[in-house]
Amino acid sequence: MLPLIRTVTYAAVFIGFFLVFLPARLLERSGVIRPAVIGVVEIAAATVTVLGAALALWCVLTFALVGRGTPAPFDPPRRLIRSGPYGLVRNPMYIGAGLALAGAALFYRSLPLLGYTVGFFLITHVFVLVYEEPTLKRLFGDEYHEYLKRVQRWWPTTTRQQR
C-alpha cells in the first residue's frame, strides 16, 4: 500500500504543477478564455485530453502495483515494468501527459499552450536520453537491454512485450 500512496502523492504534485498550474497560468497570462461554443473541435480536443490523462493515470498505477515504486527519479520502481502500457511503448506516461496538454491547447486554441506542449516533449526527450535511460540501464542491466530491443521509446510497437 505504501508504494501506491507515494506514487499518488508524487503524481499529484507533478500533475498539479506541470499539467495544471503552469498551463493555467499560461492561459491566464495570454488572455485565452473558455470557448463560448462547444463544437466538434472542442469535443475532439477534450477527448484527447481525457484519453491522455487516463493513459498517464494507468501508468502511475502500474508503477505502484507492478513496479512497486514510483515514477519519481528519486524513488524509482523496484522492478522493471514491461506490462500494461509499458509493453507497447517505453514512455507512455510522458505520452499521456503530452496528449493531455496538446488536447488542452487545441481546446483553448492557444498557441502559447501549444508551445508549452512542444517544450514539454523536447525537455522530456532530453531527460529520457540523458538521465532516465542510463539510470534504468544501471539499475536493471541485461533485463533493460532486452526491453530496449523489443519496445520503442516513443512509437508503440506492433506486438506487446510481456512480463
Q: Evaluate whether residue 159 is within a structural domain.
A: no
Total domains in the fold of the chain: 1
Give the per-residue pLDDT at 136.
94
Q: Evaluate whether residue 157 is within a structural domain.
A: no
> Cα 147 to the chain's mean position, in Å?
19
Highest mean pLDDT among 24-28, 31-35, 119-123: 119-123
Residues 117-158 have pLDDT tens digits of: 999 999 999 999 999 999 999 999 999 999 999 999 999 987
Q: What average pLDDT does range 8-36 have in this prediction?
A: 86
Cell of 144: 533493460
- Structural domain containing residue 137: 2-150
- Rounded distance between C-alpha atoms, residue 115 and residue 113, angstroms: 5
3-state helix, strand, coil in the chain (%, to 5): 70, 0, 30
Q: Evaluate whether residue 34 is within a structural domain.
A: yes
SS3 81: coil
Instruction: Indicate the Cα dihedral angle 140, 72, 2, 84, nearest 10°.
Output: -60
* Surface-to-core class of residue 19, CB atoms within 10 Å of its CB (0-12 exposed, 13-18 middle, 19+ buried): buried
**Between residues 120 and 8, which one has the greater pLDDT?**
120
Q: What average pLDDT does range 7-27 have in this prediction?
A: 87
Taking 90 as the threshold, does the pLDDT of residue 7 lie above it?
Answer: no
Burial state string for 67-81 with b = 16 or more CB within 10 A and e = fewer than 16: bebbbbeeebbeebb
Residues 37-94 have pLDDT tens digits of: 899 999 999 999 999 999 999 999 998 889 888 888 778 888 999 999 999 999 999 9
